[in-house]
Structure 1
Amino acid sequence: MITHIQGRLVEKNPTDVVIDCNGVGYLLNISLHTFSQIPDEESLKLFAYLIVREDSHTLYGFSSVAEREIFKLLISVNGIGASTARTMLSSITPQQVKEAIAHEDVALIQSIKGIGAKTAARVILDLKDKVLKVYDLDENEVSVNKNNTNKDEALSALEVLGFSKKQSERVLDKLLSEQPDANVETLIKDALKKL
């Protein structure tokens, strides 16, 4: 297994880089997060992950081991391929991915292009325990955001009723800051009064 590649940066694009390592050019697919972390120096070291398929050998590069670990967790979920995982890490930071999973923030994961409600729920269901264990997060810290599921349910109900997501989210955030323990029904009723 190739764990990292270090060499001279030959080419740098938002989706991939080419690193010359002793005369061999390696093409590594990267996320926008990694792209933003790459310095404009000639020497570069990226942590790598190799995916071998029948028709291709594809290298993925990451600016940190943490990002690579999140990527590996994401691709372990049924229905999430390497390109979807890379899109997720391009849309939000690895830290935000980790927190969204731990806090069961379906809305944030679903806001990523190509991720539907079912996939977002599956990501959380499959990875929450692993994320809590691997990153030693406390379940109690996480339960503070448990009302996110109430917010998500209220938000989807308001969307079904024809209200815009952004406006509804703003109203719900305000309501939750005033009464954090509000249930879904209360949230919807109060939001309807304000929308």
Structure 2
Amino acid sequence: MYVYEAVREDAYVLYGFADKQEREIFLLLITVSGIGGNTARMILSALSPAELVNAIGSENVNLLKTVKGIGLKTAQRVIVDLKDKIKVTGASSDNGLLGDGGLLSSGYVAVQDEAVSALTMLGFASAPSMKVVMAILKDEPDAPVEKVVKLALKRL
């Protein structure tokens, strides 16, 4: 277990993490203006570290906006502030990278966004839809949008 200790004048707070990568991303998140420990915790509760790295790397504002308490401007600020830092620290994991080590292609992101949009229009919540779509695309990265939506409907 990894811990981050936040000491302020009025509080002494400990944040616990399952792995080192999660703590590193938390430390990066709290450097963004307007994001404190609780907001960073909410982001990491809604998105896995790999999903967050993908969202920042592909500038997926919509995924960040699915987190409770994150609006358009905050999501944009997270992307602008952390895009270079995440590349520099190498905080990405195998879930968010292609075999050649680059970030996911724009075609992959387009399929992901379109599938999640379709599922939300059908009445499913954004965050669970995003997780299911990402799991499907991890197994079948070349799947067309129609197939991804069909498989997601079976899983939701």
TM over 0.5: yes
State the secondary structure of the residue aligned to 1:61.
Answer: strand
8 Å Cα contact 1:104-1:146 kept in structure 2: no
Residues of 2 paired with 1:129 and 1:148: CA distance? 19
Cα shift at 1:123: 0.3
Moved over 4 A (4+): 146-149
* RMSD of aligned residue pairs (Cα, Å): 3.4
Letter in 2 for 1:81: G
8 Å Cα contact 2:5-2:15 kept in structure 1: yes
Residue 166 of structure 1 pairs with residue 120 of structure 2: yes
Selected match of 1:145 from 98, 101, 106: 106
Aligned to 1:105: 60
Q: Give the greater-gyration-radius structure (CA).
A: 1
Give 5+ residue unaligned stretches, structure 2.
130-143, 146-156
| Structure richer in strand, relative to its length | 1
Higher RCO (CA < 8 A, seq sep 6+): 2
Aligned in 2, Cα 1:95/1:77: closer, same or farther, shift over 3 Å? Answer: same
Give me the TM-score of the superposition, normalised by structure 1.
0.51
Selected match of 2:24 from 69, 75, 81: 69
| Structure richer in helix, relative to its length | 2
Residues of 1 paired with 2:107 and 2:62: CA distance? 13
Aligned in 2, Cα 1:68/1:136: closer, same or farther, shift over 3 Å? Answer: closer
Residues of 1 paired with 2:56 and 2:107: CA distance? 12
Residues of 1 paired with 2:81 and 2:55: CA distance? 13
Give me the TM-score of the superposition, normalised by structure 2.
0.63
